[in-house]
Amino acid sequence: MSVTAALGFVASGVHAHIRKEKRDLAIVRSVPLATGAAMWTQNRVLAAPVVVSKRHLETAEPQAIVINSGIANAATGAQGETDAIATADRAAGLLGLAPEQVLVLSTGVIGAPMPMDRVLAGVDAAAAALSPHGGDEAADAILTTDTHAKTAVSHGGGFTVGGMAKGSGMIHPNLATMLAVVTTDYPLEPGEALEFLRPAVDVSFNSITVDGECSTNDAVILLSSRAAAIQRTPATDEAFVLALRTVCSELSHQIVVDGEGATLVAEINVSGAVNAAEARAIAQRIATSPLVKTALFGHDPNWGRVLMAAGSAPFNGGYAQLDPALVSLSYNGTAVLVGGAPQDVEPNVDGAVCTIDLDLGLGDGRAGYLTSDLSYDYVRINAEYRS
């Protein structure tokens, strides 16, 4: 049930005819008074729903989210904001909420105007269809080039965390086109949600890439219905942190597996860096290198491309530190380079998963990244995106 697995949530997904043949508008709502937070794309070209929703979060606790697929409502000028506001107003009126308590998310084609007659009719239909069993329909309605819905649930001691996400292409931090809604009945206090959400996002949604492209619409929202009847303790907080991280990690992993045209998932692990920030810069550079990604598609352990990328990782106005004489590199557990010396072996990279471990031998900084290969189909899918 994904976003309705936790107590107190209802959801729906309907076909508003924004897209031709599939569900394309969803609502998620907490029935009890909720608290929540969001993290947003860092792209300078912010979509209208992001602008409006950020404004709403400054004045009210979020209680409901309206999400449409098919059109991103980005680069749509003043009319785009007017349309996002009208969407929130319509939902608020139907749900008995203030407009500021409604967040709006959109995903799809950039620069296209919103068909507001269909959007508002879809809001009407989705509000009428809200149900504790509507999580799967909501998860289906937010998809674009995804091949399947992405959901995850984790149960703690007396509480639940559930989530749904969409994302397949235009995936890269900050906030990999990616939307995610995570719900919980864990009793968070107002103002607390962001301090739990941020670290979970940093090791999940902000540590994946498909194509190095940062969307105009990316968002991750956490809502707590506060409906779980448990007594909070430091131990239950730790359990909630783990459950939240589990859901975010599972959703982000599903995004990479379903990357546009992807045939392989690669796990990049960097250790031995001077510090964690430099390790992350190097891991990200490897994960986004077209040469590394095309070699992965060909199941070719061309490890020289990994070294090339690692040695040219932008950091602090220059490149992250690396000494070629200290570097060790493995593919799927087989060492191809040890202390800068080639090992004259050919690792097996025929499977659907490839693990690349790079040890810089300089310090204790470490970081991980998930990425996919770059295939012929990725080019085809994006060449035909508006067809």
CA distance 153 to 146: 20
- Containing 196, the helix (H) or strand (E) segment is helix 193-202
- Phi/psi of residue 172, nearest 5 degrees: -175, 145
Tokens 């996400």 belong to which residue?
A: 165
- Phi/psi of residue 287, nearest 5 degrees: -65, -25
- Cβ proximity of 49 and 217 under 8 Å: yes
Classify residue 66 as left (phi > 0), alpha (psi -120 to 50) or beta: beta
Q: At what angle do helices 77-95 and 48-57 cross, to 10 degrees?
A: 50
Sorted by sequence, the CB contacts under 8 Å of residue 93 that are 6+ apart come out as none
Active-site residue identified among 177, 184, 209, 288: 177
Q: Which of 157, 122, 132, 170 is nearest to 22 (CA)?
A: 122
**Residue 218: strand, helix, or coil:** coil
Burial of residue 75 (CB within 10 Å: 0-12, 13-18, 19+) is middle
CA of 111: how far to CAs of 82, 296, 322, in Å? 15, 33, 42
CA distance 340 to 326: 5
- What's CA 216's distance to the chain center, in Å? 13
**Catalytic site includes residue 177:** yes
- Cβ proximity of 152 and 181 under 8 Å: no
Catalytic positions = 177
